[in-house]
Amino acid sequence: MSNARVTILVPGRINSRVPERLKEHFDILAVPHGAELELSEAEAARVRGIAVSGALPRSWIARLPALEMVASFGVGYDGVDVAAAAERGIVVSNTPDVLNDEVADTAVALLINTIRRLPQAEAWLRQGRWPEEGPFPLTPLSLKGRHVGIHGLGRIGIEIARRLEPFKVRISYHTRRPRSDVGYTHFPTLAGLAEAVDTLISIVPNTPQTLKAINADVLKALGPDGVLINVGRGTTVDEAALIAALTDGTIAAAGLDVFEKEPHVPQALLDLPNVSVLPHVASASVPTRNAMADLVVDNLVSWFTTGRALTPVPETPQGARGPL
């Protein structure tokens, strides 16, 4: 059997490199990314793989009796109902590692922007305020001498930490279990980490355990000189508590690349002068997104030629099916 006869479902928008490369190996069914799966029963019966960016609900998986594998575009795959996939023995893959450097670079840049208010300083110059009003005001914060706590020392978290070492800051971290390969101080609780540090960088996935984990108590523990940076998932932060903390001086500043209900960002957050915001662009360079797209396709090609996925997520089985 030729793998050109395998049908891959592509719901909604995805990096254009994915369908371009998929066409070399598979038949493609492109459908809108809505609440309902707009396929006939005959079409649904043909689908053996999916390439998706974003949500893939249980109801869609249930409609696809021949589905074997889901290749998700992104290191985070919380939009895919992995429990529903696992129940059926369907493998889910993601795109780890290829975006680690880009996200880590962005996290450090966002930290510096937030502390030194560099976007506001550039706006001051561009608006002609320098000759009219004088130099941009001194920033109240500095990176020098800070104690940075990393919430999640996984693949990306460790890259952030390594980039921060030359800045001569202290580094600590919170994970469920301490790592044996680093010399940074481990804190068994997020609240304990926040109490010890003055800078908190969050890079954790969206799970029930991380949902609004950075709440009013954690922000209070971070303190009035505290800076919060979030490049993980917007759902990790209680945005209402964050807005209150930034408004009343509970913490000093925040830099955010992700938001609770993105692309919608609360106006109250945008109106605050001590916030630096980005529109979820941590991995958004052409080279990195191309590498992510290639890994999506390569996972599907590997599955349907060797019976093994390249980067399966741990929640779903890696039981090999026979090669074509």
Active site residues per annotation: 233, 262, 280
Q: What tokens appear for 147 in the block?
A: 């104690």
Residue 31 makes CB contacts below 8 A (sequence gap 6+) with: 9, 10, 11, 12, 37, 38, 39
**Per DSSP, what are the bridge partners of residue 8?**
28, 49
Residue 38 makes CB contacts below 8 A (sequence gap 6+) with: 31, 32
Calculated CA dihedral for residues 57, 61, 63, 67, nearest 10 degrees: 160
**Per DSSP, what are the bridge partners of residue 52?**
72
Q: What tokens appear for 78 in the block?
A: 């919380």
CB atoms within 10 A of CB 267: 7
Helices (H), the chain: 17-22, 41-46, 58-62, 82-87, 100-116, 118-126, 129-133, 155-164, 190-196, 216-222, 239-248, 267-270, 286-306
- Order across the sheet with 199-202: list the strands: 185-187, 170-174, 147-151, 199-202, 227-230, 253-256, 275-277
SS3 at position 34: coil
- Order across the sheet with 69-72: list the strands: 27-31, 7-11, 47-52, 69-72, 91-93
Q: How many residues in the chain? A: 324
AA identity, residue 155: R
